[in-house]
Structure 1
Amino acid sequence: MPAYNAGKYIAEAIRSIAEQTYANWELIIVNDGSTDDTSIVLRQLTDPRIGIYHQENSGQCAAANKAFSFSKGRFIKFMDADDVISPGYIAEQVKRIGDNDDVVASAAWGRFYNDDISTFKVNEDLIREDCKPIDWLVSSMDGKQAMMQCALWLIPRAVLEKSGLWDERLSLVNDFEFITRALLHANEIRFAQNAVLYYRSGISNSLSALTSRRGIKSAFTSIYEGTTYMLQHENSPRVRTAVADCLQNFVYAYYPYYPDIINKAQQRINELGGSKAKYPAGGYTKMLNRLIGWKLTQKFKALFG
């Protein structure tokens, strides 16, 4: 669990782990140079199964890699410091993997908003079937953004030893490249029906971080490399379509910032035969899209939020 300025939420995340029905766990927390009260919260922990390490701020990927370096378990779960998992989460995923070292377990998930768990709703658009990783990836990109949140997965150490760890060059959307690469080094994904991830949404993020050149370049690099792994695994019409749609969603999300990056994404889409992914719009953006098109709508949103 990498932690950066997570003092407001990390105790709840840790509590959800401490209350697991599966008791044979270790939790390794790397405090990534937090400037809030994260260190104070961590000093209050007494469970011997929790290891705490501190480093200068180096980014989430570096903190996750450091945490892994201290781990001993056969199975690994990377988890953000502001999310919550159901009490039987780990037990269900361990059960689904069984004795296999080439199987990754997924789970159900949903969002809750404004720190109010009562707003939680399970996402009904889940891939509940056990399937090959490439099939999961293609299905997860069919008309929607793929859910790559790290806590969704329980991954055997043997898979990570083949795939490699987090790319420390990346910041924004860093999970896409890593999770795609890890999944494609497994033989199967198995769905754990009774494991539920409560994904905290509605936290205000820094607009400057989301729209900085560094952030957008990281997002593009992560998506470009992750989708390249998919094409290397299976260069078929269905994968090319999924990749083109994924890149088109990137263009929709980050246009009109940094045209050189957007143009690289568009060039790749063209090379793959184009995309039919629809511009995601609701409310006033849906109305604007109908009136002035998605590009002017995005420029309007960039100017006025």
Structure 2
Amino acid sequence: MISVVIPLFNKESYISDTLQSVLAQTFSNLEVIVVDDGSTDGSATMVRAINDPRVQLLEIENSGVSMARNTGITTAKYNWIAFLDADDRWAPTFLEEMVQAIEDYPNEKIFATGRSMVFTNIEERYANTIIPAQGTTGLISYFEVITKDLPPVNSSNVLILKQLFQKRGFFREGMRQHEDHDLWIRLCAKHKVVFINKNLSFYKKDIANSASQSVYIAKDFIRYMQTMVEVLPLLSKKDTGFFLKYARKFIILSFLINSSSYTGKERKQLLKQAKKIIPISGRMLLKVASVLSFANLYGAYKKMKEG
């Protein structure tokens, strides 16, 4: 049996379709927990209009997506937790494929499927040279995959054993950016991901409002680096190498892109935390970036990496 957790905030135009994609699953032994995070539109009304006893609506004061997801996790009565954002959807066999994978890999705790980003006029399929071939299922290292491209796990394509949250922690409440990545690296520190490479999850991408287009808040950046430091001792030697490769690139690029938006105090705090992960050459680059225009340095860094 599976508990589906859907955080909801002002998605009245999408939530009905999202719920219908869950209720139309070929695997029907489930509960759906919609956590309305203080919506100010008609989102909650749209959920109440769904006449299905498997759907329950929890309404909380606006506290952010992490609190909403955590509320759903703690409320869930089943051992397996699936997440779905309120404007995303699943193919009808999403949960059926997950259940089959659990039977095939009974000792694993984290499962994910192939996915597509859905733009206004096109869909873009997730691809990575490390994941299993199209149509197949296999075990992957989360940390190896992120050295090549986007993570194999997102908030609409994953199924996780509930007990794992109690062991590794929940979503960081208060984080507004990368709160999901922060959790995935904690959960995957001791576990492989069973990846079903079939196009079963559809993630709506609004370019205009994408978090990638906004400044990376210094507080969230620091918190994410702190988690990186916490996770490193838990990794195997092989995954440590993969993770350091990813972390160093991520930190340097994020700092160069956003440094002009940070205060002097924030830059110092970020540099202090980065020292625990970044080698001397990278730290020197960050120090220069903290006092000079970031634009030229970022362009120079990109040319250096390409060359």
Counterpart AA for 2:38: G
Task: Output the amino acid matched with 2:111.
Answer: A
Pairing 1:1-305 to 2, within 5 Å after superposition? 1-98=6-103, 100=106, 102-114=108-120, 116=121, 119-125=122-128, 127-129=130-132, 130-131=138-139, 135-142=141-148, 144-146=149-151, 148-186=153-191, 188-202=192-206, 204-205=208-209, 210-211=214-215, 215-226=217-228, 228-234=230-236, 236-258=240-262, 259-264=267-272, 266-271=274-279, 274=282, 292-294=296-298
Corresponding letter in the other structure for 2:197: Q
The one-letter code of the counterpart of 2:219 is: K
The two structures, once aligned, show a CA RMSD in angstroms of 3.0
Distance 2:195 2:210 in 1: 34
Describe the shift of the 1:262–1:254 C-alpha distance in structure 2 as closer, same or farther (beyond 3 A).
farther
CA separation of 1:127/1:154 partners in 2, compared to 1, >3 Å: closer, same or farther? Answer: farther
- Report the Cα offset of residue 126 of structure 1: 5.8
What's the secondary structure of 1:47's corresponding residue? coil
Contact 2:253 2:298 in 1 (8 A): no
How far apart, in 2, do the equivalents of 1:223 and 1:92 lie? 34
- Describe the SS at the equivalent of 2:98: helix
How many residue pairs get matched? 274
Amino acid at match of 1:67: G
| C-alpha distance 113-195 of structure 1, shift in aligned 2 (>3 A) | closer
Q: What's the CA shift for 1:266?
A: 4.8
How far, CA to CA, are the matches of 1:87 and 1:220 in structure 2?
39
Q: Secondary structure at 1:131's aligned position in 2?
A: strand
- Asked if structure 2 preserves the Cα contact closer than 8 Å seen for 1:32 and 1:56, the reply is yes
Q: Which deviations, in whole Å up to 9, do the C-alpha atoms of 1:31-60 show, x marking residues without a partner?
A: 011111112212211111011010111111
**Normalising by the residue count of structure 1, what TM-score does the alignment of the two structures yield?**
0.78
Where do 5+ consecutive residues of structure 1 fail to align? 276-288, 299-305
Q: 1:199, CA displacement in angstroms?
A: 1.2
Gaps of 5+ in 2: 1-5, 133-137, 284-294, 303-307
Q: TM-score, normalised by structure 2?
A: 0.78
Amino acid at match of 1:24: N
> How many Å separate the matches in 2 of 1:253 and 1:22?
44
